[in-house]
Amino acid sequence: MTNTHDLTAHALAAAVRVRDLSPVEIVDHYLERIERVNPQVGAYITVTAELAREQAVRAEKLVMDTADPATLPPFHGVPIPVKDLNMVNGVRVTLGSEVFADLTGFADDNVVVLLRQAGSVLLGKTSTPEFGLPCYTENAVAPPARTPWDLSRSAGGSSGGAAAAVAAGLAPIAQGSDGGGSIRIPSSACGLFGIKPTRGRVSQGPIVPDLFGLATNGPIARTVRDAAMLLDVMAVPMPGDLYRAPEAEGTFLGYADRPPGRLKIARSIEPAVPGVEVHPDCVAAYEAATALLVELGHEVVELPAVPGPDLVPHFELLWGVIATLTPVPPESEHLLQPLTRWLRERGNATSAPDLFRAHAQLQAALRVAFPIMDEYDAILHPTLAQPPAPIGYFHDQEPAENFERQKHFTPFCALYNVSGQPAVNVPLHWTNDGVPIGVMLAGRLGGEGTLISLAAQLEEAHPWIDRKPALWEA
């Protein structure tokens, strides 16, 4: 028997439009699952049950009153949670911090406006680490976000709650954000497909600045089609955005049904962080993905050397400055996590000339790297250098050691935040212990369509939709 949470977001939307399922039934099913399963996985910080039911009732009435339900918005009546770094007017927003444990959203982020216009229903706010800074999701306002595949391990971060929700069947799809890997990391840890779009594809506004262009909103999903469908909803330029991605040809969902053709794909397993050893399970995932790409007829070659290790200190400097951008009252500084305080101290100690020099060095490196990377339709890496980490592996350390462990855990993702290129996690591999290990594909600026077509081909050749963690049937 098929349960409601077995259905993809695309299938749920179709069922609503043909009146096979009502939005109220869908929301009640997910809220009941959240009540039972969320304590195990820590996916949600705030559950908006009353609001979700009100929205579902309105959505159901509109379905019944509309002469042609096919004209309804793409996600009409489909639940989509929002990461707790994003503001929803009238809904609690903690930013993963005890400092803001009682803050109520006073505006809608642009991406929230677009999700609402697409007809979605808000189940709640998904967990994130403080200010979204670490690559794991442990904070002082909610339990840790855990991968449903092994509850002793972290779901990753900073969109760890979003990924845990989708992987545990507590949401059909989710919005996340990615400033240094924060969509791809938890997608790998939770066995999901996630897209970090091209810089400027999805608005960060109106409140969050996009000064450095590192972070972007994006989808986390069980299937390529679901993610592409949600990216179509999110990818609307807004006034005031500092960056604008190249125009896409057609819809991203259309690319999921379009064969990619024979592509020239480069691959590299050389970490950008010096001294990193890539775990054998991550090597195995990378080699298996390479073999599958070759089997599908693609040309796979080794990526020539591009700037990497020399850029790490400049990225670290930017990350410390970004940590200072969230205003914290002096009397509340003591409530911050040790890692956050440490990063903010580094950021506050950075002079304006040092900041601009770091940014200039990153730009100079990209001017060397782009002519090399643009020779390829896609670039393959491991998503992470290690399998999902145990709860506390980072969080229980002193800040300097915590940060060093994070660098060794995720040495591949941040390069594509610096460059602004799109990148996806593809869940092709599981360990013998049943833990997911993803691989990352990056594309040219504006090349999400190629990545979606390629990922859909990989999904068809090596399906993952029927792989579910044990608690899926809970």
Catalytic positions: 83, 158, 182
Q: For tokens 């977001």, name the residue.
A: 9
Cα torsion angle, 194, 440, 312, 341, sign = positive
Cβ atoms < 10 Å from Cβ of 466: 6
Spatial neighbors of 258 by CB under 8 A, at least 6 apart, are: 449, 453
Dihedral class, residue 343 (left if φ above 0, else alpha if ψ from -120 to 50, else beta): alpha
The C-alpha atoms of residue 181 and residue 424 are separated, in whole angstroms, by 10
Closest CA to 455 of 255, 262, 233: 255
Angle subtended at Cα 349 by Cα 343 and Cα 355, rounded to the nearest 5 degrees: 90
Instruction: Please report the beta strands in 325-389, taking only residues with DSSP state E, as ranges in sequence order.
Output: 378-382
Closest CA to 416 of 394, 389, 383: 383
Q: For tokens 């910080």, name the residue.
A: 45
Strands 264-267 and 378-382: parallel
Question: Quick one: three-class SS letters along 404-468?
Answer: HHHHHHCCCCCHHHHHCCCEEEEEEEECCCCCEEEEEEECCCCCHHHHHHHHHHHHHHCCCCCCC
Instruction: Write the CA distances from 242 to 149, 199, 315, 381, 417, integer angstroms.
Output: 39, 10, 20, 29, 15
Dihedral class, residue 198 (left if φ above 0, else alpha if ψ from -120 to 50, else beta): beta
Tokens of 114: 């677009």
CB of 10 closer than 8 Å to CB of 75: no
Alpha helix segments (H runs only) across 259-337: 280-295, 312-323
Closest CA to 47 of 126, 106, 105, 103: 126
Q: For tokens 């938890």, name the residue.
A: 186
Amino acid identity, position 417? N
Q: For tokens 């060794």, name the residue.
A: 408
CB of 189 closer than 8 Å to CB of 154: yes
Beta bridge partners of 90: none
